[in-house]
Amino acid sequence: MQTIKNYINGELLEPFGKQYIDNYNPSTGKVYSLIPDSDERDVELATKAALIAFPSWSAMPKDERSRIMVRISELIEKNLDRLAIAESMDNGKPISLAKTVDIPRAASNFYFYATSILHYASESHAMEDTAINYTVRTPVGVAGCISPWNLPLYLFTWKIAPAIASGNCVVAKPSEITPMTAFLLSELCIEAGLPKGVLNIVHGYGHKVGAAITAHPKIPLISFTGGTKTGAEIARVAAPMFKKLSLELGGKNPNIIFADCDFEKTIRTTLQSSFANQGQICLCGSRIFIERSIYEKFKIEFVERVKKLKVGNPADADSKLGAVVSKSHMEKVLSYVDIAKQEGGTVLCGGNQVKLDGEFADGYYIAPTVIEGLTYDCRTNQEEIFGPVVTLMPFDTEEEVLVYANSTQYGLAAILWTENLTRAHRMANNLHSGIVWINCWLLRDLRTPFGGVKSSGVGREGGFEALHFFTEPKNVCIKLK
C-alpha cells in the first residue's frame, strides 16, 4: 500500500507523530493508501523551512522564478495520464474528466502565473508638478494555502502558483480526503529544481494541520477554498491576528432559462452544469429556473437525457458520472433527497444510490437526480448539497426570478440563458453573484476575477487579483520641488 509523505524543506518526510490516516478509493470503497496524520510540529517545521527559503526566493530575479515554474507546468503535462488516474482514484471522478479538465488546468495554473509575473507592473500616481507616487509590491512572506477535495490538484495549484510566482514561500494543506496528486506534485517540484523550502506540503486533518496553519503567528496570509462554515472558523481565528484572508466558499448557484434561449445548447450545457464532477463543483447550477412557457418541454427533454447519463467505473470512457467523494458525503447528499420529499418535492429521476458490480460494489455512486415541486425558499433550495441533485422551478417574470435567484445566503456564480442581449445585461447587473455566465458555463479566462459575494467568500482569485493578494503594496511619495 502506498504511503504518502509530507514535503518539507525539499524532502519527503514522515510526520512527527508517525501516525497515518486511511485513504479511500471512492469508486471501490476500499482503503488504498495512507496519509500522514500530521500535527502542529510538522506545520512548525514547514514554516521554519519556508521562512529560511524566503529571502533568497523573493530576491531571485522574476524570470528565474518563472523558468522553474514553467518546468513544473511541463512536468505536470508530461505526467498527465498518471496524475489523471491518481486524481480519479482519490476523488472518484471519471478519468476522462481529470484528463481533460483537472490536470491540464493544474499545468495552466503554473504556466499562467509563471508568465503573469513577467508582466506584472505596479502603479504610479503623478500629482501634477508637485509630487509623484509609485507603488512597490513586495511578497508577504509565508503564505498558508488550504484547499478542498472536489478539484484537488486544480484548486491546490490555483493558490500555490500565484503565491510562489510573486515571491512568497508556502505552507500548504490539501484536503486529507484527496491528498494523492498534491503528493505527486511534490515529487515533480523536486524534479523541476524548485529550491527547498519554497513549497511545503503538510498532509492531515483540517482541525489539526489546517488549524495550525491558520493560527501560526509567522504565517500572515491565508488563502482558503472550502465550505462556508470552515471559512468562518478560519476568519474567526485569523482576524484578531490581522492576517490577509482570501476565502472562496460555498455556492448554491441559479441556472436561469428564458423561453428565448437556444434550447439545444441550453439543455446540453445544463447537463454539464448540473452533473459534471458528480455535481461537486462550487460553480454547478443546482437551482434551475425555467420560464413557464417552456417548463414542460424543458423538463421532459432534460429528464430523458439525464436518465441516459451513465454512472459507472470512473475508468470507463463512457462513464459520465463516477463516485462521489466519500461514504459520508454520499449519505449527506441522499439525506437531502429525503428532505426534498418531506418538503413536498417530486423526484423525477434518480434520488438513489447506484450499486455497481464486482470490485465497485461498495463504491459511493448516486444516480443523477432531478426534483420538482419545491418552493424557492425551502431547505433543499437554500442549502448547499454539493452532489448530483438539481431542482426545477417555473417562473413568469424577470423580477420574480431575480427574487428567487438572489434569495440564498450564497452568491458565487449565476448562469443565464437568453438570446435577448438587453435582458442579459440587465439580469447580469441585478444578480447578486461574483460571476455570471451568459449562454455558457465554466468558460474560464484565468485573467478574470474569480470569487463570490455574501457567504460565498471574501476577496478574488485569478489574474492580477491574486498577485495583488499575495503582495503587500507600499506607496512611496516623492516631492518634486
Q: Which residues are catalytic?
A: 248, 282
Cell of 5: 509523505
Tell me the β-bridge partners of 3.
34
- The nearest distance, CB 39 to ligand NDP, in angstroms, is 12
Q: Is the dihedral of CA 265, 267, 270, 274 positive or negative?
A: negative
Nearer to ligand NDP, 75 or 219 (CB): 219
Name residues contacting ligand NDP, limited to 369-408 (CB under 6 A).
Answer: 384, 386
Pick the piece of the chain touching ligand NDP (CB under 6 A) from 110-118, 223-231, 259-267, 364-372.
223-231
Q: Is 146 in the site for ligand NDP (CB under 6 A)?
A: yes
List CB contacts of 85: < 8 A, sequence separation 6 or more.
95, 98, 315
CA dist 28 and 329 (Å) reads: 15
Q: Is 248 in the site for ligand NDP (CB under 6 A)?
A: yes
- The nearest distance, CB 350 to ligand NDP, in angstroms, is 21
Q: Is 145 exposed, middle or buried (0-12, 13-18, 19+ CB in 10 A)?
A: buried
Q: Is 412 in the site for ligand NDP (CB under 6 A)?
A: yes
Name residues contacting ligand NDP, limited to 80-99 (CB under 6 A).
Answer: none
How many residues are recorded in the chain? 481
- The nearest distance, CB 229 to ligand NDP, in angstroms, is 7
Q: Is 252 in the site for ligand NDP (CB under 6 A)?
A: no
Q: Is 234 in the site for ligand NDP (CB under 6 A)?
A: yes
Size of the site for ligand NDP (CB under 6 A): 33
Q: Is 397 exposed, middle or buried (0-12, 13-18, 19+ CB in 10 A)?
A: exposed
Pick the piece of the chain touching ligand NDP (CB under 6 A) from 50-58, 184-192, 205-213, 337-345.
205-213
Nearer to ligand NDP, 149 or 289 (CB): 149
Among residues 74, 37, 69, the alpha carbon closest in space to that of 83 is found at: 74
Question: Contact at 8 Å (CB) between 116 and 163?
Answer: no
Nearer to ligand NDP, 20 or 298 (CB): 20
- The nearest distance, CB 207 to ligand NDP, in angstroms, is 5
Name residues contacting ligand NDP, limited to 271-330 (CB under 6 A).
Answer: 282
Nearer to ligand NDP, 278 or 313 (CB): 278
Pick the piece of the chain touching ligand NDP (CB under 6 A) from 1-9, 222-230, 372-380, 473-481.
222-230
Among 150, 273, 408, 455, which residue sits at the site for ligand NDP (rule: CB under 6 A)? 150
- The nearest distance, CB 400 to ligand NDP, in angstroms, is 26
**Rounded to 5°, angle at Cα 169 from 446 and 90:** 65
Among 53, 153, 171, 177, which residue sits at the site for ligand NDP (rule: CB under 6 A)? 177
Helix/strand/coil for 301:
helix
Among residues 22, 39, 40, 19, the alpha carbon closest in space to that of 31 is found at: 22
Pick the piece of the chain touching ligand NDP (CB under 6 A) from 6-14, 57-65, 229-237, 435-443.
229-237
Nearer to ligand NDP, 167 or 206 (CB): 206
CA dist 367 and 307 (Å) reads: 9
Nearer to ligand NDP, 37 or 372 (CB): 37
Alpha helices (H) along 361-442: 379-382, 398-405, 421-430
Nearer to ligand NDP, 248 or 291 (CB): 248
DSSP secondary structure string, 233-298?
HHHHHHGGGT-EEEEE-----EEEE-TTS-HHHHHHHHHHHHHGGGG-STT---EEEEEGGGHHHH
- Orientation of helix 103-116 relative to helix 152-165, angle to 10°: 10
Contacts to ligand NDP by CB under 6 A: 146-150, 155, 173, 175-177, 205-207, 210-211, 214, 225-227, 230, 233-234, 248-251, 282, 384, 386, 412, 452, 456-457
